[in-house]
Amino acid sequence: MKGARPVVEVVRLGVVSYQEALRLQQLYVDRHRSSPANALLLCQHLPVYTTGIRHKPYPAALLDRLRLLGADVHRTNRGGLITFHGPGQLVCYPVLNLGNFTKSVRWYVCELEKTIISVCRRFGIEASTSPHTGVWVGDQKICAIGIHCGRYITSHGLALNCNTDMSWFGHIVPCGIEGKGVTSLTVKLQRDVSVEDTIPHLLDAFRQHFNCELTEEHTAE
Amino acid sequence: MAAGVLLRSLSSNFSTVLPSLRRSAYNASFRRTLSSSGRLAAALKFTDKHEWIRVEDSGIGTVGISNFAQEALGDVVYCELPEVGKQLTQQDEFGALESVKAASELYSPLTGEVVEVNTRLADNPSLINKSCYEDGWLMKMTIASPAELDALMDEAAYKKYVRSIED
């Protein structure tokens, strides 16, 4: 158990629909049944609003209105409230067996937050946590987090705004938190920061905070 | 959701339940005096997924999560619980708890039928953190197969199990 660092396979999915990413996450979740198979899925989504296990704040009528904006809409089984994913946002789905790390969801979410804070620091941005889960720059959320855990296997994950079109967030109360805004690496640095610019920093920080080895295979089928 | 269904079934049974409540209230306080030495008078059994089940005198099992589990989750903000009447097989997913933006699945410790869910958790999910063995109970179920209960860990075995995880 102790000694060897866990190995996590990095899988770059490119731009995929939310549906396709769910399908691929499930494949990786199922792989854990036969043997250790930790994976870190990286992607960008076409515009989509997603909600978590709490359905009451988001009746069908509200979701239909969001569809009229030209976005996809999905209810999911993750924690957290409503959020937006779209091009220019680095979405990361770690499908880990917490048995290879620490068997605590609270620890896991905390390490994800620390990972993103490290990424921001590398760009010269001072980010922090708050009583609301996620990573903040002052009063603005730069990265949303929402995960699912069953039998210690994690799915869903985090979404870091690189050069996302922020106007999509104007149609929702992001993560159900009134009066707080959203921001991105590009907005904070006043220069274009892309998902491709950000990925190497995310991988470095993830390796450091989760004390693991990262490997890379070919892109998923 | 589940709460609406539960309230309807409670109100229709109220008139038949009331006379027996008076009797069982007397018995309950008598039993509480006897067992004032601690909650362990009705022994807890544990699963390897950190759920506990306590068999009441009625033969119904009360289910919750352990202190190890509630600490590992963080502050619970929402509980997704099953409908009363739901049939569960041992290890079936019966709900989820949300904490720190994480939804964690709950697994049925035994095979049986859900007879009650803790409706207090809808407005007060933090009961799970503050009182995981008492007020933070999740659901009550029938016990279809007592042999399954025998195979679960007792408190001593569970304590050992938790120590082995923490090391």
Q: What is the pLDDT of residues A82-116, one digit of tens each?
A: 999 999 999 999 999 999 999 999 999 999 999 99
Q: What is the pLDDT along chain B (167 residues), one digit of tens a residue?
A: 444 444 444 444 444 444 444 444 444 444 444 444 444 447 899 999 999 999 998 999 999 999 999 999 999 999 999 999 999 999 999 999 999 889 999 999 999 999 999 999 999 999 999 999 999 999 999 999 999 999 999 999 999 999 998 77
Please state, in angstroms and rounded to a whole number, the distance separating the CA atoms of residues B138 and B70: 12
Q: Tell if the CB–CB gap between A79 and B101 is shorter than 8 Å.
A: yes
Report the distance separating Cα A90 and Cα A133, nearest Å: 18
Distance from CA of B98 to the nearest CA of A (A): 6
What are the φ and ψ backbone dihedral angles of A193, each rounded to 5 degrees?
-120, 115
Q: β-strands A140-150, B102-107: how paired?
A: parallel
Residues from chain B contacting residue A147 (CB–CB below 8 Å) = 101-103
Q: Is position A212 annotated as part of the catalytic site?
A: no
Task: Kindly report the pTM of this predicted structure.
Answer: 0.85
A25: its two tokens: 């996450």
Catalytic residue among A120, A149, A175, A212, which? A175
CB atoms under 10 Å from CB of A67, counted, come to 11
Instruction: Assess contact for A93 and A21: CB atoms under 8 A.
Output: yes
CB contact under 8 A, B103 and A149: yes
Minimal C-alpha gap between A136 and chain B (Å): 15
Angle (nearest 5°) at CA A191 between A188 and A193: 85
pLDDT value of residue A2: 53
Predicted ipTM beyond 0.85: yes
Is A123 in contact with A201 (CB distance < 8 Å)? yes
pLDDT, residue B31, reads 43
User: Given strand B139-141, what is the order of strands in its sheet?
Assistant: B44-46, B51-55, B61-65, B139-141, B112-117, B87-88
CB A199 within 8 A of CB A90: yes
